[in-house]
């Protein structure tokens, strides 16, 4: 059954240049991110929200530090700034090496043939579930009492933070052939973490990959610090996190939604970190509607079938 817009609990979002955004993103910083011109030594981790970008961000920082993970969120933000949140000027000034995190569509950013991009994608069913819990946990969305049905209705319409999942998926999929893009799935990394950590290392820093092969203890440290259990140790850090920690509200005191971004999240940022949690949330009607949504996007059916042929999707 399709639910009317009147039945849905709306998220606290606005549109900027055609993109749905929460108060986590300031207009000037977001536009600055879209116009940021990458440096020759820039390394990006890109992906749709809740597709594994924070996991990869953390992993790639551990790689560059040879198995030493960020202990606090401030350390993570310094080593890996979030482009759309802090803006291009701060990223430009950040000391290198740096891992730049971004949720931008391919056609919404200035692409460079010289920079490197690690693009992570996650199947739409699990991504939707993870995004639902994320949205409930952050007060800025005004969705604390929201249900999965309400969020699902918004997700398939693309009316969630940073917009439509499938538009993002297809924008980067169509560019995966480029030699400076490493295109990987969340599920593949979960199934073979050692192999994929080595591939990521070889892609962003071949010298480090050689180091890990010669000294496997360093590689083991990276694998261990990026496990779900290790990542969950950061949940206390995420719970104290607000947008104020990035200074993003300091010049926005007149924004009526700013107070919500000053409130810390509830729940756990790193929740389960598994493949297949969608089975605990989707009912038969939602499965059929997701399949219909996939079928309505040009080429998406074949792309989803190709990328996730090894897992049990409807």
Average pLDDT, the chain: 86
pLDDT at 139: 85
pLDDT at 147: 97
Work out how many domains the chain is built from and give that number: 1
pLDDT above 90 (res 6): no
What share of the chain in percent tops pLDDT 90? 69
> Is 252 a domain residue?
no
pLDDT above 80 (res 273): no
Sequence-ordered alpha helix ranges (H) in 65-192:
73-79, 83-86, 88-93, 124-137, 148-156, 165-173, 186-191
29-65 residue pLDDT tens: 999 999 999 999 999 999 999 999 988 998 999 999 9
Task: Please give the average per-residue pLDDT across 227-231, as a whole number.
Answer: 71
61-111 residue pLDDT tens: 999 998 887 777 778 888 899 999 999 999 999 989 999 999 999 999 999
* Burial readout 216-241 (b: 16 or more C-beta within 10 A, e: otherwise): eebbebbbebbeeeebbebeebbeeb
Catalytic residue among 103, 133, 134, 168: 103
> Is 255 a domain residue?
no
> Is 3 a domain residue?
no
**The CATH number of the domain where 101 resides is what?**
3.40.50.300
φ, ψ for residue 202 (rounded to 5)?
Answer: -60, -35
Per DSSP, the residues of 272-300 read ---S-GGGGT--HHHHHHHHHHHHHSTTH
> Is 121 a domain residue?
yes
Q: Check: CB of residue 145 under 8 Å from CB of residue 2.
A: no
> Is 254 a domain residue?
no
Name the least confident of 13-17, 62-66, 180-184, 303-307. Answer: 62-66
pLDDT at 234: 65
pLDDT above 50 (res 165): yes
- List the Cα angle 192/197/202 in 5-degree steps: 130
pLDDT at 137: 85
Beta bridge partners of 121: 185
pLDDT at 70: 78
281 is catalytic: no
Sequence-distant (≥ 6) Cβ neighbours of residue 189 within 8 angstroms: 52, 55, 56, 120, 196, 197
pLDDT at 235: 54
23: domain range?
9-244+263-307
pLDDT above 50 (res 243): no
């Amino acid at each position: 059954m399709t639910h009317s817009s009147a039945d849905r609990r709306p998220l606290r979002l606005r549109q900027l240049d055609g993109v749905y955004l929460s108060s986590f993103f300031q207009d000037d910083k977001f536009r600055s991110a879209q116009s940021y011109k990458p440096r020759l030594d820039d390394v990006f981790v890109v992906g749709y929200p809740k597709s594994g970008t924070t996991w990869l961000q953390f992993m790639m920082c551990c790689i560059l530090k040879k198995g030493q993970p960020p202990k606090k969120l401030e350390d993570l933000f310094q080593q890996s700034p979030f482009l759309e949140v802090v803006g291009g000027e701060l990223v430009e000034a950040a000391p290198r090496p740096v891992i730049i995190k971004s949720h931008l569509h391919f056609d919404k950013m200035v692409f460079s043939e010289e920079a490197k991009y690690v693009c992570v994608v996650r199947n739409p069913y699990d991504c939707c579930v993870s995004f639902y819990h994320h949205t409930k946990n952050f007060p800025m969305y005004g969705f604390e009492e929201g249900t999965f049905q309400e969020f699902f209705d918004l997700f398939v319409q693309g009316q969630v933070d940073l917009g439509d999942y499938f538009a993002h998926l297809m924008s980067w999929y169509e560019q995966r052939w480029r030699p400076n893009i490493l295109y990987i799935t969340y599920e593949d990394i979960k199934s073979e973490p050692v192999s994929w950590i080595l591939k990521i290392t070889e892609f962003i820093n071949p010298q480090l990959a050689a180091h890990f092969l010669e000294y496997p203890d360093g590689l083991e440290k990276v694998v261990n610090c990026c496990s779900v259990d290790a990542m969950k140790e950061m949940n206390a850090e995420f719970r104290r996190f607000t947008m104020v920690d990035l200074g993003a509200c300091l010049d926005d005191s007149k924004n009526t939604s700013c107070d919500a971004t000053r409130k810390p999240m509830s729940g756990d940022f790193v929740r389960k970190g598994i493949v297949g949690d969608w089975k605990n949330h989707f009912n038969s009607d939602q499965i059929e509607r997701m399949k219909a949504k996939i079928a309505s996007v040009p080429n998406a059916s074949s792309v989803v079938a190709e990328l996730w042929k090894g897992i049990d999707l409807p």
